[in-house]
Amino acid sequence: MAYAHRVAPGTKIKLRKYDPDRTVGLQKDEALERFAKLSAELGGLQEELYAAGQHAALVILQGMDTSGKDGTIRRVFESVNPQPCHVWPFKVPTKEELAHDFLWRVHQVVPRTGLFGIFNRSHYEDVLVARVRRLVPKDVWKARYAQINHFEALLAASGTIVLKFFLHISKEEQKERLLKRERDPAKAWKLSAGDWGDHARWEDYMKAYADALSRCSTEAAPWYIVPANHKWFRDLAVCDVVVQTLKSYRSVWRATLVDMSKTRLAELKAIHKRHRSERRS
C-alpha cells in the first residue's frame, strides 16, 4: 500500500478528501523500522545515481509553514546519505530576481546529471503566495501553470527525475505548531510576521495548492500528497516514493556501471601488460 498519494495527471483534486492524519494503520515503531530500511537503500541509490551520471534527481518540497519541510530534509536526505545533495531554500525574491522571469532563479540551481537537488519551496510559490497575496495580476499567475509544466518537461527530457511533495497538515495542526513555536525561545526566531496571516488565509491557500497540484502533476514530474500531521509517517512516505522511483532506474544505471567497469578493467589490463613487457625488455 502506498503511503503518499500520487496525483494522477489530468485529474482535479480536492485537498479535504486527503486526511493529514493518515498512517495506514501503522504504529510509530513499525514505521520507524521501515523508514530505517528505506533510508539505507536511498544511500545506495544516490551512490549509483552519482556513479552512473546519466540522470539527476530533483525533489521539490512544498507545504504551509510548520508542515515540516526542514525536518523532512534533515531526516530523509541529510542524515543518512553519503553522496552530495544540494538543498536550495527559496525565500522572498530579491530585486534582481524580480527583474527576471520567475523561473530564472530556479533554473540556475537545478542539479546536473549525477547529483541530487532539493528545493525547499520553489517556483510553486509563484502560483501560491503570489496568487493568495495578489502579488501579480490573475492573468500572470494563470499563465504560470503551463510555463511550469514546460520547464519541468525540459528538465525531464534532459534526464532529470523530478519528484514533488506537498506536505499536507491540517489547519488545527498548524495552529498548534505555531503556538508551540511562539512558546519555544529556541524556535521563535523561525516565526515571521506573515505566518499567522497565512494561517488566516488557510482556505485560499488550500485552493491554490489544489490548483497547482491538479494542473502541474504530469507523467514527467508528478505531485505527491504526503499526510504530514505525524512526522514519522511523513518521513516514511517521502522516503518511500523517492526510493521506489529511483529503484526503477537501477537496472539502467547498473548496466552503465558494468560497462564502465569493463572499460576500466580493459585499461588496467593493458597497463599491466605494458609494464610486464617493459620489465622483460
- Which one among 68, 114, 117, 222 touches a copy of itself, defined by CB under 8 A? 114
Q: Which residue has the cell 516565526?
A: 191
| Least spacing, CB of residue 214 vs a copy of itself, in Å | 20
| Least spacing, CB of residue 113 vs a copy of itself, in Å | 5
Is residue 100 at the binding interface for a copy of itself, with CB under 8 A as the rule? yes
Which element (helix H / strand E) includes 144? helix 138-157
Residue partners of 153: CB distance under 8 A and separation at least 6 = 218, 220, 221
Is residue 101 at the binding interface for a copy of itself, with CB under 8 A as the rule? yes
Is residue 210 at the binding interface for a copy of itself, with CB under 8 A as the rule? no
| Least spacing, CB of residue 148 vs a copy of itself, in Å | 10
Query: What single DSSP character describes residue 278?
Result: H
Is residue 86 at the binding interface for a copy of itself, with CB under 8 A as the rule? no
Question: Among residues 70 and 97, whose Cβ is nearest to a copy of itself?
Answer: 97
| Least spacing, CB of residue 105 vs a copy of itself, in Å | 10
Query: What single DSSP character describes residue 85?
Result: E
Query: How many chain residues interact with a copy of itself (CB under 8 A)?
Result: 26
Q: Are 32 and 241 in contact (CB under 8 A)?
A: no
Is residue 73 at the binding interface for a copy of itself, with CB under 8 A as the rule? no
Question: Among residues 56 and 213, whose Cβ is nearest to a copy of itself?
Answer: 56
Which of helix, strand or coil describes residue 4?
coil
Question: Among residues 4 and 59, whose Cβ is nearest to a copy of itself?
Answer: 59
Is residue 260 at the binding interface for a copy of itself, with CB under 8 A as the rule? no
Is residue 219 at the binding interface for a copy of itself, with CB under 8 A as the rule? no
Is residue 96 at the binding interface for a copy of itself, with CB under 8 A as the rule? yes
- Convert residues 118-157 into a mask of x (bound to a copy of itself by CB under 8 A) and - (unbound): ----------------------x--x---x--xx-xxx-x
And the C-alpha cell for 252? 539502467
Using alpha carbons, select from 219, 238, 206, 230 the residue that is nearest to residue 13.
206
Which of helix, strand or coil describes residue 120?
strand
And the C-alpha cell for 115? 547529483
| Least spacing, CB of residue 45 vs a copy of itself, in Å | 19
- Which one among 83, 113, 120, 245 touches a copy of itself, defined by CB under 8 A? 113
Neighbours of 140 (CB within 10 A): 14
Rg (CA), the chain: 22
Is residue 253 at the binding interface for a copy of itself, with CB under 8 A as the rule? no
Question: Among residues 106 and 243, whose Cβ is nearest to a copy of itself?
Answer: 106
Q: Residue 27: which region, alpha, beta or left (left: phi > 0; alpha: psi -120 to 50)? A: beta
Q: What's the half-sphere exposure (Cβ side, CA atoms, 13 Å) at 25?
A: 2
